[in-house]
Structure 1
Amino acid sequence: MRAFPVRMPSGTRYWTVIDDRMEVVCPADRWLRHLRFGQNRAELTTKAYAGDAALYLSWCLRTGRRWQEAAQDLGLFMVWLKYTPIEPDGSIGTVRMGPGAEPVRGERRINRILTGVRGFLAHAIRDGAAPDWVLGVIYELADTRSLPQEARGEGTGLAYRLKARHRLQEPVSEVDRTSDEQVVAMFRACRNARDRLIVLLLARVGLRRGQVAGLRREDCHLLMDSRVLGCASEGAHLHVVRRENSNGAWSKSRRRWVQPVDFLVVQAFDQYGAERHERLGAGGSDFLLVNLFRAPLGSPVTPGAIGDLVEALARRAGLEGPVAPHRMRHGFASNVADAGGTLDEIQALLGQNHPASAQPYLHPAPTRLREAVERVASPRELTAEGTR
Structure 2
Amino acid sequence: MALYLTWCDERGLRWSEPGFENLLRFRDWLVSVPLPSRGRKNRSVIRFRQDGSANAVLGTMTQFLLFGVGPGWVSEQVALSLAKPKFLRFWPDGAAGEGGGARVVTERTLRFATTDPGIEYLTPDQVELMIRMARNARDRFLIVLMRATGMRIGETLGMRRADVHLLADSRDLGCHVNGPHVHVHRRRDNANNALAKSRKPRTVPVTADVAGYYRDYQWEREAIPDPVAKAAQGRRASPASLHTDLAMALEEIKELRVERDQLRAAMRQHLGHQLDQISNRKLTERITELTEANRKLERELAQLRPLADQIQELQQDLATARTSLRQMIRDGNQHKPT
Per the TM superposition, whether the score is higher than 0.5 is no
TM-score, length of structure 1 as denominator length = 0.35
- Using CA pairs under 8 Å that are at least 6 residues apart, name the structure with larger relative contact order, 1 or 2: 1
